[in-house]
Amino acid sequence: MEFSFDKLADAPVPILFLIVIALAIISAGLVMLFSRWKKPTLLIFNNENGRVEISRLAIQKVVQRTCDRFIEVGRARSYLSQSKGYIHIKVQLMLGVKTRVPDISSHLQKQITRAVRDDLGIKNLADVTVVVEGFMNPVEQEKN
């Protein structure tokens, strides 16, 4: 059986409609897949010799080590994005039950900012967003 575009032009409308819908779904899926793909490194700056980039994992490890210093933080995950040349850090936390959110979040934001800017030398850090996902019960807190 041989395929020909001439035969496709003579096909009934419902078959053409289904083919167009299938192609649209495949295209939309590819666009979504590639728009979620993130480059493994972030641009820190350009100099006379070229570009300087740092891996997302390196920054995430620094953020994780900073969060681990706080006994109030049970679990922390960080996500990085870059927009208009600036790096944005989002940290999702599970906190101990009796933790004062305004105090710990402010202190944690300052420490992460200091670690990323001073220790890594990244000057294009825009912000550190803290998202409290929940609170651990005392049994979970003792395990950490």
Output the domain CATH number for residue 139. Answer: 3.30.300.30
Residue 72 shares a structural domain with residue 122: yes
Q: What is the pLDDT, as a whole number, of residue 16?
A: 72
Residue 98 shares a structural domain with residue 29: no
pLDDT mean values, one per 10 residues, the chain (144 residues) = 61 72 86 65 83 88 94 92 90 91 94 92 92 81 55
Residue 100 shares a structural domain with residue 137: yes
Instruction: Return the DSSP state at 118.
Output: I
Residue 61 shares a structural domain with residue 128: yes
Q: What is the pLDDT, as a whole number, of residue 42?
A: 78
Structural domain contains residue 16: yes
**Residue range(s) defining the domain that contains residue 92:** 55-143
Q: What is the pLDDT, as a whole number, of residue 3?
A: 61
Say if residues 23 and 10 touch (Cβ distance below 8 Å).
no
Query: What is the three-class DSSP state of 26?
Result: helix
Say if residues 11 and 18 touch (Cβ distance below 8 Å).
no
39: tokens are 């480059």
Structural domain contains residue 46: no
Residue 63 shares a structural domain with residue 92: yes
Reported pTM: 0.68
Name, in order, each residue with C-beta under 8 angstroms of 126's C-beta and a sequence gap of 6 or more: 83, 86, 87, 88
